[in-house]
Amino acid sequence: MKNFRYKIIGWFSLCLSLLATSLHAQDKELKVFLNDAQTHYIKGTGLGQIWVRHTAFNPGSTVFGTPKESGFDVGLRRVRYQAFGQLTDKVFVYTQFGINSFGSLSSRKPGLFLHDVTGEYAVIPSKLTIGAGLHGVNGTVRYSSSSVGTILGMDLPFIEESTNDISDQFVRMLGVYAKGQLGQLDYRFSASNPFPIQTAINPVPTLPDGVINQAYYSVNAPELKYQGYVMWQFWEKESNQFPYMTGTYLGKKKVLAVGSGFSTQSNAMEYRATSQGAKILAPSTQFGVDIFIDTPLDKAKGTAFTAYAAYINYDFGPNYLRNGGAINVANGMNANGTANGPGNNFPLIGTGQVYYTQVGYLMRKDLLGDAGTLQPYAQLIISDYVKVDEPFTVYDIGVNWLQAGHRSKLSLDYQSRPILAQGTSEKLIKNSAEPRKGMLVMQYQFAF
């Protein structure tokens, strides 16, 4: 155990010394104006998130058949490029492309793919805008549409992205949407075509023969998906020009927002009531409420406080449960495997209730002199899924080193996840031999 700790300290000390030499971003924009009044423009931005990580693998994990108890890896969590613009007084266009989760087991030479391509028209400026395309205007809760460049923690709250890359393209779908602000009320609604599970890059499990009272995604042609989210903004208003919602403003705004949303799709799931019975189709439905606060504490010192809490009810049919793990670098299990699956997987999304919260404190702006400041944070997921015997938790503790705000940010995060095993009944229970595993990640983020 001591050697394990010494290895982690050595690896991350080396990474810290290398990444600390990163250049500070300049307060410039890649922006071209299209008219003399400078009200019409096109703009470009970019983002990169580099992970350096040590993971204690789930029991029984293998890499191409080789048993592995732990692993060190470097990965690209996200690489994104955006081009958008105000083409006329009422027409706004937005495009985003890039890659996600490129790791040591990924296919080499990945191709950049489209994340967003939308065009929208302001019918009544600020009050009603309609749009269409490949979009991320989602419902349920705030971080069903996360701004990945401004998240508080090292990684986004993917517990709120329930269909990520199952029936959508990293939370985006092709569809139409409407959004606007009526006084303090901010709203968004969309109707979209979910992607068939047969076109997913990673195979989506389907209903096996003989399995009863266990829902899977349906292989039928998908029905339209309807989503909506509304929030009441008590203090300053947030911009709704983009669908992706800010994680922390670093004391630049004073925001208190309470929201609620939904998502529903008919016949999205299927299961059998008896081993020889016909398939039964069921809808997927989601409902959530949340609260977000981000406020400066001492403007002279630059200190600020950020907090968020959400309750979500997921219904994907009886006993639905899906594992997930970011940039998983194990791809198999031997006879000692558990219900988590290989690598850093854990039960992520299922039928039941989820409670999620995060909190962060921005320290004074000159804490590290010219080198910036620190922002410690913590995150907690409590999942109470029907398929699992008791509620379980996943937690993160970490700190952001803000060298130039979100433009140059170094984060260190430790995540602890539960290990579940099959019990004597149909429900999963805690793995008594090894109840939890951990993952330590250092991320460097640059944005321009």
Integer angstrom CA distances of residue 202 from 169, 290, 324? 12, 31, 12
How far is it, in rounded angstroms, from Cα 176 to Cα 192?
6
How far is it, in rounded angstroms, from Cα 263 to Cα 175?
14
pLDDT score, position 314:
98
* Homologous superfamily, domain 2-447: Porin (2.40.160.10)
pLDDT in tens, 197-238: 999 988 999 999 999 999 999 999 999 999 999 999 999 999
pTM over 0.75, yes/no: yes
How far is it, in rounded angstroms, from Cα 275 to Cα 213?
9
Whether residue 20 is predicted with pLDDT greater than 60 in this model: the reply is no
- Which of 383, 320, 389 minimizes the C-alpha distance to 354? 383
Q: Is there a contact between 371 and 403 (Cβ–Cβ < 8 Å)?
A: yes
pLDDT score, position 22:
38
Average pLDDT over all residues of the chain: 93
How far is it, in rounded angstroms, from Cα 186 to Cα 179?
8
How far is it, in rounded angstroms, from Cα 361 to Cα 128?
35
How far is it, in rounded angstroms, from Cα 147 to Cα 245?
5
pLDDT score, position 110:
85
User: What's the mean pLDDT in 138-143?
Assistant: 97
Whether residue 25 is predicted with pLDDT greater than 90 in this model: the reply is no
Q: Token match 């009810």: residue?
A: 313
pLDDT score, position 10:
52
Half-sphere exposure of residue 332, counting CA atoms within 13 Å on the CB side? Answer: 9
- % of the chain exceeding 90 in pLDDT: 89
pLDDT score, position 85:
97
pLDDT score, position 410:
98
pLDDT in tens, 381-420: 999 999 999 999 999 999 999 999 999 999 999 999 999 9
Whether residue 2 is predicted with pLDDT greater than 70 in this model: the reply is no
